Amino acid sequence: MCGIVGIVGRNDATEVLLNGLEKLEYRGYDSAGIYVSQGLNKGSLVKVKGKIADLRAAVHQEDVGNIGIGHTRWATHGQPSKANAHPQSSADGRFYLVHNGVLENYESLKAQYLNDIKLQSQTDTEVAVNLVATLVQKEKMSVLAAWQKMVQLVKGSYAFVLIDRENPQQLYVAKNKSPLLIGTGATFNGVCSDSLALLNVTNSFIELHDGDTAVISSQEIKIFGQKNEAVKRKTYSVTLNQDDLGKGTYPYYMLKEINEQPAVLRFLEKTYLNETGKAVFDSRLLDQLAQAEKIYFVAAGTSYHAGLVGKALIEKLAQIPVSVELASEFGYHLPILAKNPFFIFLSQSGETADSRQVLLKIKKLGYPSLTITNVDHSTLSREADFTVLLHAGPEIAVASTKAYTAQITVVALLAQALRQKLDPDVINFDLKQQLSLAANGIQTLIDQQELIEQLAKDYFSKTRNAFYIGRGQDYYASREAALKLKEISYIQTEGFAAGELKHGTISLIELGTPVIALITDPETADLTRGNLKEVEARGAHTLTIASENLAQSKDQIIVPQIDPLLSPLLTVIPAQLLAYFATIQRGYNVDQPRNLAKSVTVE
């Protein structure tokens, strides 16, 4: 949520900021702005309501400088508008601030310190920048002291970067709960919410911890810990292929990412399975998992849906009970936990605030944890005891696709490793073969785009609502299928347990309501077909996605044969494509749906 970038020591600062914001646009895209300095008390502030392309168009030739800050916003306090866009400036015009996060006590701080100031925006950020100005003006503090005092006064989450017009050679930085990294170069330094923003100028980064503040010039980086003591933080390199960052020849990132799924699965198979088919993970991780009386998946959104599929994989393969928990609920309503619990955090971004508050709580209780994430060095990865990477490459489209299939695959691999550890003689689940079938099957389904595009037109061009139904793994895949369709096409869609419809929700079925059934499990196939008949009798427009061995002549989409435990890897593909085409046909932006952002760093 919200993307921040700052740079000092580059004559092309404006371009570095705009380029960085383009890479961060997935984090929010309702308004944006930059401030670049042309020297003492000279600078350009450009802000727009809209996207980075609008910001680029609003930037003039003279808006140059060698230091600057930029921001792309996902509104929390105050609607998207030019006035509420960042950078926010202090009333005296001296300080410019960008912020990602939420300040819980901004109203009381405003009442206590800023009575004489007329604020121009509805943002909490404007309070923070005016606090710095007030502490400098009235309490005669140095800017650094005022900066650190402001950070102590605010409560909540923040990644902050500030420029002082009277000393435009350095960036003041602070971080708590929201992600922020320092990017380093020989003659410049920068700061960003995600390394993607500065990857075209550096691949060397320094991680900041919660409570850190820093002062960054072109030649020097000073970092301070919570008590303002000088601290050193870890430097690391990011090795990412620049090609991974663009759309290539695809019209949207989502389509590119859907197409990457077979390659991701094959890469995971190669990474985590050896030649003999043995799943290989850190032995200390497997030891701790094997001792768990119960495993808890904690996640949100699509990752939560991957956890639901993962539950059956671990329970069936490793015979360890699993509970799947919504992070935003679990942390505040901890149930009675099993003895020796083990927590697995599933998170594409590794930054989700809802998941992180649970991680912090269970760490305090002394329980072991693993983060399964796509982003190395992300917060959840750093803070858990173990990390397993998804290796899916950057996922830029807001609607998650390849991260979901990668999460299921990694959990399957982990389940297999546990099974091999707990019962080395029993290896009757050939995961290598299954994953290879899955990768090929995904490709077969992707190759049916023309059919799926037509079905999207037939089923979704006019409808207001829709249902996906299924049982077992098909039900869990239905939950994800429904999320895909609703979040980008705005068709109100529910993923429902097929047998549960008749207990109330069937009253929503009207003439023409699309009901899409996923049928891949021989044990329940007939039951789900019966439920389809029930909705057809009430006028529903039904569509069936069935596996080869269960297919009937009228089924519209046939998915290749695979073990039903892993069927969501395949059934989700037509659902992703149906969502994609329905959204295009309805005229919406596939990659940037309204009201949403990727990487949800507020609770």
Contacts (CB under 6 A) with ligand F6R, residues 475-494: 483, 487
Q: Is 251 left (phi over 0), alpha (psi -120 to 50) or beta?
A: alpha
Nearer to ligand F6R, 286 or 390 (CB): 390
57 Cβ contact partners less than 8 Å away, ≥ 6 residues apart: none
In sequence order, the β-bridge partners of residue 71 are 4, 33
Find the shortest distance in angstroms from Cβ 102 to ligand F6R.
16
Q: Are 5 and 193 in contact (CB under 8 A)?
A: yes
Look-up of token digits 């404006």:
14
Alpha-carbon distance 156 to 176, whole Å? 8
Nearer to ligand F6R, 68 or 574 (CB): 574
Alpha helices, DSSP H only, in 282-330?
A: 283-291, 301-318, 327-330
Find the shortest distance in angstroms from Cβ 600 to ligand F6R.
5
State yes or no: is 192 an active-site residue.
Answer: no
Q: Pick the catalytic residue from 47, 49, 175, 598.
A: 598
The residue with its CB nearest to ligand F6R is 301
Look-up of token digits 């789900």:
528
Q: Which stretch binds ligand F6R (CB under 6 A): 220-228, 287-295, 342-350, 534-542?
A: 342-350
Q: Is 123 in the site for ligand F6R (CB under 6 A)?
A: no
Read off the DSSP letter of residue 23. Answer: H
Among 157, 348, 379, 513, binds ligand F6R (CB under 6 A): 348
26 Cβ contact partners less than 8 Å away, ≥ 6 residues apart: 3, 396, 397, 398, 591, 592, 597, 598, 599
- The gap between the terminal CA atoms of the chain, to the nearest Å, is 11
Number of H helices, E strands in the chain: 18, 24
Nearer to ligand F6R, 171 or 346 (CB): 346
Find the shortest distance in angstroms from Cβ 350 to ligand F6R.
7
Element housing 388 (H / E) = strand 386-389
Q: Is 37 in the site for ligand F6R (CB under 6 A)?
A: no
Among 4, 102, 265, 300, binds ligand F6R (CB under 6 A): 300
Alpha-carbon distance 245 to 238, whole Å? 13
Contacts (CB under 6 A) with ligand F6R, residues 376-405: 399-400
Element housing 492 (H / E) = strand 492-497
Q: Which stretch binds ligand F6R (CB under 6 A): 79-87, 152-160, 176-184, 349-357?
A: 349-357
Find the shortest distance in angstroms from Cβ 332 to ligand F6R.
18
State yes or no: is 2 an active-site residue.
Answer: yes
In sequence order, the β-bridge partners of residue 44 are 36
Alpha-carbon distance 512 to 542, whole Å? 9
Nearer to ligand F6R, 87 or 393 (CB): 393
Could you tell me what percentage of the chain is helix, strand and coil, using 3-state DSSP and rounding each to the nearest 5? 40, 25, 35
Q: How many chain residues interact with ligand F6R (CB under 6 A)?
A: 14
Nearer to ligand F6R, 134 or 347 (CB): 347
Q: Is 347 in the site for ligand F6R (CB under 6 A)?
A: yes
Q: Is 349 in the site for ligand F6R (CB under 6 A)?
A: yes
Nearer to ligand F6R, 214 or 390 (CB): 390
Look-up of token digits 């993970």:
281
DSSP one-letter string for 429-440: --HHHHHHHHHH
Q: Is 179 in the site for ligand F6R (CB under 6 A)?
A: no
Interface mask (CB under 6 A) for ligand F6R, residues 447-466, using x and -? Answer: --------------------
Nearer to ligand F6R, 33 or 394 (CB): 394
Q: Is 372 in the site for ligand F6R (CB under 6 A)?
A: no
Contacts (CB under 6 A) with ligand F6R, residues 301-320: 301-303
In sequence order, the β-bridge partners of residue 230 are 224
Which parts of this chain interact with ligand F6R (CB under 6 A)?
Answer: 300-303, 347-349, 352, 355, 399-400, 483, 487, 600
Catalytic residues: 2, 598
